[in-house]
Amino acid sequence: MNVDKLKVLTVAGCLVMIAALYMIFVYVPTEANMGVVQRIFYFHVPLAWLAFVAFFIVFICSIFFLIKKDLKWDRVASSSAEVGVIFTTLFLASGSIWAKPIWGVWWTWEPRLTAALVLWIIYIAYLLIRLYVTNKEQRARFAAVVGIAGFVDVPIVALAITLWRTEHPSPVIFEGGLAPSMLYTLLVSIAAFSILFTILLLQKLANNTLESDINKLKEKIK
């Protein structure tokens, strides 16, 4: 994506994010049972969803790398993993902030939270492999295996509240349990964070591609 298109996407992202913040803090009514803290929901769900999207991209690109042996797929996977770890960190943090006034604790070892923490650890390990394995071909292969195997935990996190008894509420989004104003606010928030995710991914991919080109020039000079 060229600079002009990225600027347009950034402006659009800012406008949609402003609209999302207005809807979260002004438009949508306060939830009757949980009160104002429930507004974290409109941050928490998009962060979780986009973390899953990021790791799905890692999964797909890792498979393509192992098949085609083309490092461009490795660069996309690496870029997406870094953004995914950021979103997972924010997803876990927002969940803890939400849990404290509702459950009375910052953290509890219930299935979804535990699976989400394991997911975060898996992709931290993915990034550590990329940091400490110096041979680029070997690094890409090792990372691809972890990226593919680690994705197994994503559906476990997503389905935890239906597979086991947890403290999380039932999936009201898919059961029609959200009032129209809440659903509209959630959709706009997802759109805003999706644009942010896309911008971060494109910027990181551009940086990784530039770094790869610089390393190739260094090797030619040697």
pLDDT tens digit sequence for 71-81: 999 999 999 99
What tokens does 66 get?
Answer: 């192992």
Q: How confident is the model at residue 217 (pLDDT cuts 50, 70, 90)?
A: confident
Q: Is residue 126 part of a domain?
A: yes
Give me the helix-helix angle, 41-68 and 180-221, nearest 10°.
40
Per DSSP, helices labelled H in the chain are: 3-22, 41-68, 71-103, 111-132, 136-150, 153-163, 180-221
The tens digit of pLDDT for each residue in 116-170 reads 999 999 999 999 999 999 888 999 999 999 999 999 999 999 887 777 666 666 5
Residue 180 belongs to a domain: yes
Task: Find the angle CA(118)-CA(120)-CA(123) to the nearest 5 degrees.
Answer: 110
Q: How far apart are CA 39 and CA 20, in angstroms?
A: 12
Total structural domains within the chain: 1
Instruction: Kindly state whether residue 104 falls inside one of the protein's structural domains.
Output: yes
> Does a structural domain hold residue 15?
no
Per-residue pLDDT, 82: 96
Q: Report the greatest alpha carbon distance in the chain.
A: 67
pLDDT at 173: 56
Is 17 a member of any domain? no
**CB distance 166 to 95 below 8 Å:** no
- As a whole number of Å, the CA-based R_g of the chain is 19
| Residue 171 falls inside a structural domain | yes
Q: Which helix (H) or strand (E) holds 64?
A: helix 41-68
The mean pLDDT value of the chain amounts to 88
Domain containing 180 equals 22-208
Residue 156 lies in a domain: yes
What pLDDT shows up at residue 108? 82
Q: How many angstroms separate the CA atoms of 27 and 37, rounded? A: 15
Q: How many residues are recorded in the chain?
A: 222
In a domain? residue 7 = no
Beta strands in the chain (DSSP E): none
